[in-house]
Amino acid sequence: MAELRSTAVLDEVEQAFAARAMRRKRLFLVLSNVSVAVALLLAVVYGWERFRDPSFAIGPRAVVILLILLNARQNLRQHKYAAILEKLLPS
Residue ranges of domains in the chain:
13-88
CA 65/CA 77 separation, integer angstroms = 19
Look at residue 61 and tell me whether its pLDDT is greater than 90.
Answer: yes
For residue 76, with 0-12 CB atoms within 10 Å meaning exposed, 13-18 middle and 19 or more buried, which class applies? middle
Grade residue 1 by pLDDT with cuts at 50, 70 and 90: low
Grade residue 3 by pLDDT with cuts at 50, 70 and 90: low
CA 80/CA 90 separation, integer angstroms = 17
Please provide the distance, in angstroms rounded to a whole number, between the alpha carbons at the two ends of the chain: 26
Q: What is the rounded radius of gyration, in angstroms, for the C-alpha atoms of the chain?
A: 20
pLDDT at 60: 95
Mean pLDDT of the chain: 91
Q: Give pLDDT tens digits for 14-33.
A: 889 999 999 999 999 999 99
pLDDT at 7: 58
